[in-house]
């Protein structure tokens, strides 16, 4: 893999790691900043998947060991969770996506957003844990 692509992937991963706790502090940062950061993490999430297209290309190829099956299931649950967060966040938006003028469904959108955000923390933590070796390698290369 090209060095520049690898660096870009790590920058995007690091930015998402930093944004996650900021997004969870919505009561401290305010609704408008929360929406902008949420939109930012959506863009980073899409870039993350674009830069990891190899994962999608190999999705139905090869043998599924228990470890690969668990990892794939976790990744798919996280993808569904992010879709739920994005859709519900856009439905509730009062700033960034206000121009869409979505009416109704606010209670359901809020419940879905809270449900998905709590599960998202669990799923993202597990996803990071599955890739901890890569994170340590990256951290060592940056700071040692």
Mean pLDDT, rounded, for 86-98: 96
Mean pLDDT, rounded, for 95-111: 94
**Looking at the predicted structure, is the pLDDT value of residue 1 above 60?**
no
Domain coverage including residue 121: 3-143
More confidently predicted of 140 and 74 = 74
The number of distinct structural domains making up the chain is 1
- Separation of first and last alpha carbons in the chain: 22
**Looking at the predicted structure, is the pLDDT value of residue 63 above 60?**
yes
User: Is the overall model pTM greater than 0.75, yes or no?
Assistant: yes
More confidently predicted of 26 and 135 = 26
Helix, strand, coil percent values for the chain (each to nearest 5): 85, 0, 15
User: What tokens does 122 get?
Assistant: 């669990």
pLDDT of residue 144: 61
Cα separation, 48 vs 127, whole angstroms: 13
């Amino acid at each position: 893999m090209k060095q520049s692509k690898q660096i870009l992937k790590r920058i995007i991963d690091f930015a998402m790691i930093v944004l996650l706790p900021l997004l969870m502090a919505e009561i401290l940062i305010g609704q408008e900043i929360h929406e902008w950061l949420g939109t930012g993490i959506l863009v980073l999430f899409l870039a993350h998947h674009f830069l990891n297209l190899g994962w999608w290309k190999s999705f139905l190829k090869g043998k599924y060991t228990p470890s690969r099956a668990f990892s794939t299931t976790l990744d798919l649950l996280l993808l569904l969770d992010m879709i739920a967060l994005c859709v519900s966040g856009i439905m509730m938006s009062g700033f960034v996506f206000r121009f869409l003028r979505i009416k109704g469904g606010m209670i359901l959108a809020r419940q879905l957003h809270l449900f998905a955000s709590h599960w998202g923390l669990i799923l993202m933590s597990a996803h990071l844990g599955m890739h901890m070796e890569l994170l340590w390698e990256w951290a060592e290369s940056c700071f040692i």
